[in-house]
Amino acid sequence: MVNNKLSFLILSLIILILTNLLIVNASQVIDTMEKGNTFYREGEYEKAIDEYNKLVDEGHLGTSLFYNLGNSYYRIGKIGLSILYYERALKLSPSDEDIKHNLNFARLSTVDRIQPLPTFFLFEWWEAILNSFTENGWAYIVFILYLLVIYLAGSYFFARSIKQQKLVLFSGVVALFVLAISISLLVVKINREATAKSGVILEQFVTVKSSPDPQSTDSFVIHEGLKVNLEDNLDEWVKIRLADGKVGWIENNYVEQI
């Protein structure tokens, strides 16, 4: 009995300490964000960036944090970093119209105008639907649809008339079809998050090489703010692919992953 009471007291103390630590940490995060926001409103953008980056360095992620950093970097003319953080914010909140608007506005200041390779309209629709939600968003949708299918399956057996059974059956088939599509989208989203990587060029201009060697042939030149796909790494080099299909190698310190 004494040992049980002692264990309970120790567990309660640990929970109390952890709770206090979480409260203190959350308070510090809020205070730092407020300092950054205050500096931003006063036009002291570099000080605002310093405050926001304290949270980034501590490993904090957040749509507002990345969005505010994007706004701050844009204000001081660092277009590459501005686009980088808008992209990171959009990755967390893909349906946020404010982020999309500011990202597109920032892209107007970039030099490169890359025309993507043409795609079949069905693939464009698929990509648009896929990017409507994050990985967690699709997981929630799949879970809700699964519960709906289970509910409809149960309702079928308790329907009071043939008409109700037909309505429930039709609804169940539709829900099952949508569930299957949602599961497919979730699987693709998970696979893409795990394999596909993209980054933003942070240097004013970069000469892309044909191979991971400074003495290799110059292939083409790209500029700050351009979004590229990251395909491979070799020592201090990274292989990039542009939206128009061009491929080459650059030093990995010229680009930062989104």
Contact 222, 201 (CB under 8 A): yes
| Residues 9 and 97 grouped into a single domain | yes
Q: Which ranges of 93-161 does DSSP label H, i.e. alpha helix?
A: 97-107, 121-130, 135-157
Average pLDDT over residues 11-37: 67
Residue 11 has pLDDT above 80, yes or no: no
| Residues 10 and 76 grouped into a single domain | yes
* Residue 227 covered by a domain: yes
| Residues 52 and 63 grouped into a single domain | yes
* Residue 115 covered by a domain: no
Phi, psi of 241 (to 5 degrees): -130, 130
C-alpha distance from residue 83 to each of 13, 28, 172, 202 (Å): 46, 27, 44, 9
Q: What is the pLDDT of residues 93-143, one digit of tens each?
A: 988 999 999 999 999 999 998 887 777 777 888 888 888 888 889 999 999
Q: What is the pLDDT of residues 157-196, one digit of tens each?
A: 887 888 888 898 999 999 999 999 999 999 999 988 878 8
Cβ neighbors of 71 (< 8 A, separation 6 or more) are 40, 82, 102
Q: What is the pTM of this model?
A: 0.75
pLDDT of residue 17: 56
C-alpha distance from residue 170 to each of 150, 158, 159, 180 (Å): 14, 15, 13, 15
Residue 13 has pLDDT above 70, yes or no: no
Six token digits for residue 159: 């329907």
The proportion of the chain whose per-residue pLDDT surpasses 90, expressed as a percent, equals: 61
Mean pLDDT of all residues belonging to the chain:
87
| Amino acid sitting at position 15 | I
Q: Which domain holds residue 134?
A: 121-195
| Residues 23 and 80 grouped into a single domain | yes
* Residue 113 covered by a domain: no
What is the domain-level CATH number for residue 234? 2.30.30.40
pLDDT of residue 20: 45
| Residues 237 and 212 grouped into a single domain | yes
- Number of structural domains (the chain) is 3
What is the domain-level CATH number for residue 33? 1.25.40.10
The better pLDDT of the pair 195, 41 is held by 41
Q: Select from 177, 195, 213 the last residue of a domain.
A: 195
